[in-house]
Each structure stands twice: as structure tokens, then as C-alpha cells.
Structure 1
Amino acid sequence: MHAQEAQHGQVDIVGVSCYSSNDLLSWRNEGVVLHGEENNLSHDLHKSNVLERPKVVYNNRTGKYVMWMHIDDANYTKSSISVATSDSPMGPFTYLYSKRPHNYERRDMTIFKAYLIYSSKGNNELHIVQLTDDYLDMTDGMRRILVARYREALALFKFRDIYY
């Protein structure tokens, strides 16, 4: 995330930057692919709000890149997810909406294939939900896992047919 430090200790939203690499050692800054909002105070991307943990996934069916991210207000009471789309991983991304999935707070998150995994209940449980076919929303079914086990900065991977 590209950001500027605010006087009150928060980080102003400037936007989400994209970096590319051919070898995972040398990186090139591709610029800001989703810009923050300077003037509209009620917009989720207003510079006074919080944008964290952006993740981009490609949808083979629609040919779109879909960005999911944590959006919050300066006091961390909004605790929502938001979605933006683009025809290119280098943007520009178009901001679509924010919401609280299944009426739960949403904090740290990751995307794995067609699944959104996020922490909730003060990071004391994880929720897993399948995305819709276009990856623009979540399905109704949600599973709670690792209940009463504090988790932050989660990541998911598969090794020998087991998901970790």
C-alpha cells in the first residue's frame, strides 16, 4: 500500500500500488492501481480511512482481476471488506462497494482460489466463505474455524492434498 503518515498516527489512504517481477528478486513499481479519495469524506477510500491487506485474484470466467481488501474507519469500527475490479493487474481498478460479510466484523484476510478467509470476533476465529462465480461477492454459506484461537496475518497453502 502506498501511504503518507497522518498527524494522528494513522496512515492516510493514497492508494494501492502494484509491483511486478520476472524472478521474485527484482521488483518494478507499476504505480498506483487504485487511488484514494481526496475530497469525498463519506467515500470508503477517503484518505482519513484505513485500507489494509489488498489481495488480487484473476477470474478465468470473466477475464477480470478482482481486488479484495480490508476497509475501516480511523477508529477501526467499520471493519468491512471491499471489492474493486480491473481488466489488467496493473489497473486502473474501479472501486465497487464495501460490506460486512455475513454481518461479522472482518479484519485480516486472504484469498485462496475462489475462497475468502478472514479473521473475525477480535481475531479470535476464522471464517471461510466461497466467492460467487464472478468473484465479486460471497456466497451465503460460511464456515467458522479455529474458534477461540487468536489469529492474525493469515495465509493458506496446499501441500500434498492438505490445506494449511
Structure 2
Amino acid sequence: MKNAFLVTALLGLATATQAQRTAFEPGKVWPDNHGTHLNAHGAGVLFDKGRYYLFGEHKIAGPKGNSAQVGVHCYSSKDLYNWQDEGIALAVAPAGSGSEIEQGCILERPKVVYNKLTHKYVMWFHLELKGQGYAAARTAVAVSDRATGPFRYVRSYRPGAGQWPLGFQDEWKQPVPGEAALKWWTPEWRTAVAAGLFVRRDFAKGQMARDMTIFVDDDGKAYHVHSSEDNLTLHLAELTADYQDFTGRWSTIAPAGHNEAPALCKRGGKYYLLTSGCTGWAPNAARSFVASSIWGPWRQLENPATGADADSTYHSQSTYILPVAGKPDAFLFMADRWTPKNPIDGGYIWLPLSFEGDQPRLRWADRWSLGVFDQPRPKATAAQ
């Protein structure tokens, strides 16, 4: 009995000691309150009632872990360093159930926002139906009465069915003879993509939606940003007032630019978008964009990463930009280091996002704390 008491006491002491992190250490093992590496990949963060909630893909060991075997994992924190395991917020349905989110589907990049009108927590994620690879290209929504869940699956969408994007010219609504045979990546092909080649192709059934994020603006309107047109073009679509459907207003960003992994923030009245290129699981150089209106036009800037390994975004891929609560114009860049052969080992790269004029900047740090945001920083300039 004494030995059992001693073991329990030591375990409790280890857990308490584990919970005393005071800084971020990008790329290193990040233990939760149980001492287990965080299992929340492709994540987003919700700040609600003084607490942060982290939602991400729950991975398992081995290649099978690249599909959804468990669901969306949730953690909570008061300081962003130390995370408490809150369990599975959205569980996949049993194999063979016929559900769109049954075990073995692909469920990626979950993002949760709170709706002040309905008092519901709304989760969006990229969904690929089981056994179809990446052919479905859908986005899906689930809701909950509590931040930690359980979330109830609602449905999936192909956005924009039967709706043209904003600014789409009348002459673009009819196919051009021979355009489907154009060789990819040629100037003629890029011109055809910008003039709606793939938008027309998917007009009736809805546009593809893969890598995605959700952004809630200052006025409470929410937007869904996703990689579409075979990952060639980003689409930005306005959500309904309850955040569970699309209004039908949408626009394209960087046609044929081949962007994915979108992450969005707002500073000084301007909108900033960080993305990656499309190189599968392999990392690449990040891209950045700025716009004075969320509907564009979006102007492409430089690779935001600097220093060694900037050409691979420090061996990672963007997933979210988190505004730090209580610190004006302070943003935290969140990214993943994917390990597809053993997905559960995937790491996390969280770095402070700074700005040089309109240019977002990332600089590597082996260890850093939120105190960096207390240092003097350039002031944001209002959108013109």
C-alpha cells in the first residue's frame, strides 16, 4: 500500500512539474498535462472566456494515421505554453456506418469559432470521403454547445454551386473552344485559369474545397478560405450569420498561383494571408499577401520567413495565425512539421509574426516567450 501511494505521489509530482512550461520551443516534443506529446495537427485555436482551445487532427502511428481513425482532439490552456487534454471534441463514426465522417475518411485542418447569435461553437474542416482519396474535395461543419464538445456533425459542402464569384465577367461564363486541351503552366493556360477555366468546370456541382481556414472579422462576419480548382486557386467565401452555411458571395485569390495551407489575420485595417506552395508532405517556401478589403484585390508579397531554412519555412507548413489575447497587433504563426510515415510524431512550429511595413516576417527562435510582444514594435498603418 505504501509503495502504491509513493508511485501515485511521484506521478502527481511529475505531472505538476510537467505543467510548468514558460516558453515555446519550436519543433521539440510538446507534452500535455499527462506528459504526452500534443496530438493536434493542422490545428486552429479559439480564445473563449479567458481560455485558449486548441483543435487539431488526432493522429495514430503508422501510415494509416494519415486518415481519420479517431477524430478531432481538443486541448485547453490559459497561457499557450501548458495544455490540458480535453479529449476528443469530434469523434469519427464507426467504420461501416455509412457516415460521411466514418473512420477512415480524411479529416483535416479543423477550425472552431464561436457564434454570438446562436451561442454555438462551430467547427469547419476539410473532408475527403472514405475510399475516394482526395476526389471529394469537400468542406464540412459540426456544432456544439461547449467549446470542448462533443461536436455534432451537420453536413459537408462543395461551396459555390450555381454561383459565380464576385467580379466574374459575363464573357467568362461560356467555355472557350480548345481551352481544356491547353498545356498546364503555359502563359495561355494561366490566362484561361484566371478567366474561369476551372470555375466553369465545377459551376454546377460546386467548387472544390481542400486546405482551409476560418476568419471572423471585426464586424462578426465570418469567411471560409480554401484551396480550390485542383489546388490551383484560393477561394474566399462568406458564411451565413450562424456560420454554418455559405451566403453565395465568394471570390478568387491568386488564380493558378498553386497555394494551400491558408492562414489569415487583420492588422491596421488590412488583411494578411500566409500560404504555402503545393509540394505534398514536403515543406516549401511560404508566400504572403496583403489586401485593404477582404474581397481583394490581394497583392502578393515576399516569402515571410527569413534566415536559415527560410526556403522550407523551417521545415513546416502554415496552419493558423492566432491573435494573442490582451496584446494588440500581436500574432502567433502556427505551422506543422509533417511526418507522413508516422503521423503521430508530427511536430509544431509556433513563432512570433512581426511586420516590416506591409510585409509579414518570421524569424526562427529555438526558445521564446510571449514577452517578445511587450517589446516596442512598428505601429500598423491604416488601410488606404
User: TM-score, normalised to structure 2's length?
Assistant: 0.41
* Equivalent position of 2:242 in the other structure: 134
- State whether residues 234 and 260 of structure 2, in contact with CA within 8 Å, keep that contact through their aligned partners in structure 1: no
* Equivalent position of 1:118 in the other structure: 226
SS at match of 1:55: strand
Could you say if the C-alpha distance between residues 18 and 7 of structure 1 is closer, same or farther in structure 2, counting changes exceeding 3 Å? Answer: closer
Could you say if the C-alpha distance between residues 124 and 147 of structure 1 is closer, same or farther in structure 2, counting changes exceeding 3 Å? Answer: same
Q: Map 1:79-90; keep pairs closer than 5 Å.
A: 79-90=137-148
Take 2:78 and 2:64, find their aligned partners in 1: how far apart are those partners? 38
Question: What's the CA shift for 1:150?
Answer: 1.3
Alignment equivalent of 1:56, drawn from 112, 115, 124: 112
Alignment equivalent of 1:77, drawn from 116, 135, 142: 135
For structure 1, which segment, 36-45 or 103-112, has the greater mean C-alpha deviation from structure 2 after superposition? 36-45
- State whether residues 108 and 118 of structure 1, in contact with CA within 8 Å, keep that contact through their aligned partners in structure 2: yes
For structure 1, which segment, 58-67 or 69-78, has the greater mean C-alpha deviation from structure 2 after superposition? 69-78
* Equivalent position of 1:150 in the other structure: 258
Question: What's the CA shift for 1:41?
Answer: 4.3
Q: Deviations over 1:79-121 (max 9, x none)?
A: 1011100011100100000121120111110000011111101
Alignment equivalent of 2:211, drawn from 70, 95, 108: 108
Alignment equivalent of 2:75, drawn from 10, 14, 19: 19
Alignment equivalent of 1:32, drawn from 84, 88, 101: 88
Percent same amino acid at aligned positions?
Answer: 43
Matching of residue 95 in structure 1 with residue 203 in structure 2? no
- State whether residues 212 and 261 of structure 2, in contact with CA within 8 Å, keep that contact through their aligned partners in structure 1: yes
SS at match of 1:153: strand
Take 1:41 and 1:125, find their aligned partners in 2: how far apart are those partners? 34
- State whether residues 13 and 51 of structure 1, in contact with CA within 8 Å, keep that contact through their aligned partners in structure 2: no
Matching of residue 68 in structure 1 with residue 124 in structure 2? yes
Take 1:42 and 1:96, find their aligned partners in 2: how far apart are those partners? 14
Take 1:157 and 1:7, find their aligned partners in 2: how far apart are those partners? 33
Question: What's the CA shift for 1:4?
Answer: 2.7
- Cα RMSD for the two superposed structures: 1.6
Counterpart amino acid of 1:77? A
Take 1:13 and 1:64, find their aligned partners in 2: how far apart are those partners? 26
For structure 1, which segment, 146-155 or 61-70, has the greater mean C-alpha deviation from structure 2 after superposition? 146-155
Gaps of 5+ in 1: none
- State whether residues 140 and 156 of structure 2, in contact with CA within 8 Å, keep that contact through their aligned partners in structure 1: yes
Q: How many residues align?
A: 164
Take 2:147 and 2:251, find their aligned partners in 1: how far apart are those partners? 30
Take 1:6 and 1:99, find their aligned partners in 2: how far apart are those partners? 30
- State whether residues 84 and 97 of structure 1, in contact with CA within 8 Å, keep that contact through their aligned partners in structure 2: yes
Question: What's the CA shift for 1:10?
Answer: 3.8
Question: What's the CA shift for 1:5?
Answer: 4.5
Take 1:22 and 1:8, find their aligned partners in 2: how far apart are those partners? 33
**Structure of greater Rg:** 2
Question: What's the CA shift for 1:13?
Answer: 2.8
